[in-house]
Amino acid sequence: MTIEIASENRAHGGRQLVVSHASESTSTEMRFSIFLPPQAEAGGKLPVVWFLSGLTCSPMNVTEKGEYRAACAELGLIFVAPDTSPRGENVPTDSSGGWDFGLGAGFYVDATEEPFARHYRMWSYVTEELPALVASEFPADMGRQGITGHSMGGHGALTVALRNLGRFRSVSAFAPIVAPSQVAWGTKALGGYLGSDEAAWRPHDAVALIEDGARVSDLLVDVGTDDPFLDSQLRPDLLEQACVDAGIPLTLRRQPGYDHSYYFISTFMAEHLRWHSERLR
C-alpha cells in the first residue's frame, strides 16, 4: 500500500505527520495523523495509542488541540488518530443536512444500508486496514496497543476494545456515548447505517456488549459535569452500572465544570496517556 506524507512537523523532539492513502475499506482516499516520539529515531518498536475522534471532527482536531505530544515524547508512545468517516465528492451524507450523521460521523461501523454500504466501512478501516498499514510503515509494536477516544470516538474505543479481546492492553475514553442504542445520536446512526433490526446494533453498543459477556481488564472514563450532552446522549451512569454488574473495574471521573470540548480533552490527555503507558510497558 502506498502512503503519502501530506505534512510533517517537528514537535517535542519527534515528528508529527499527516498521512494519506487509498483505502480499500472505504474506496476513498483517507487521512490519518501520527506522532512519532523521539524514541522512534533510536530504532526498535514502540507502543501505540489510538485516538478515535467525535462527531464532525477530522484527525486535525486532536492534532491541533489535543496537547498529547509532550506526554507521548516523555513516555515513548506513538499516537495515531484516524478520520471519522470517508470523504469525497461521491460519498453520500445526511440528505437533511444534519451534522450528526454522514460525513464526519461514521460512528465506527460497517454500514449495510444504502447508499452508505460502499463507503462507510469505518469498523473495517480502524480495526483491520489502518492497523496493518501502521504496522508495515512505522515502528509500532502491535503487541502493545491502547485505545481511547472522545464522544462518538469514545463509543468507538469502547466497542473496538470490547470486541477485540487481547488486542488492547488499555482502554479509556473522554465523554463517550456508552449506550448508543438508548440515545438519539446512536439510534439515528445505527438505524441509518445498519437498518431497523436492533439486534444488529448490539455489537456496536458498549453497555450491550458488557451485558452480553464482553470484558476488559479495567477502564478509565472522564466526563465533564457541565457537558450539555451528559444526561441526554452520553449516559455514563449506564456504563457504571454495567461495569458493577460485570465486575469490571471502572474509574469514572466526573470533572467539575468541564464541558464537551477540547479544552476538557486536552486538560486530562496526559493523565490518560500515563494510564495507557503503565499498561503498555
Residues assigned a catalytic role: 151, 227, 260
Distance from C-alpha of 2 to C-alpha of 22, rounded to nearest angstrom: 8
Identity (one letter) of the amino acid at 110?
A: D
Containing 91, the helix (H) or strand (E) segment is none
Distance from C-alpha of 148 to C-alpha of 273, rounded to nearest angstrom: 9
**Residue 144 buriedness (CB in 10 A; 0-12 / 13-18 / 19+):** buried
Asked if 33 contacts 60 with a C-beta cutoff of 8 angstroms, the reply is yes
Neighbours of 143 (CB within 10 A): 10
Distance from C-alpha of 185 to C-alpha of 73, rounded to nearest angstrom: 35
Containing 207, the helix (H) or strand (E) segment is helix 206-211
As beta bridge partners, residue 105 has 102
Q: In what order do the strands lie in the sheet with 28-36?
A: 3-11, 14-23, 28-36, 78-82, 46-52, 140-149, 168-174, 219-224, 250-255
Asked if 49 contacts 79 with a C-beta cutoff of 8 angstroms, the reply is yes
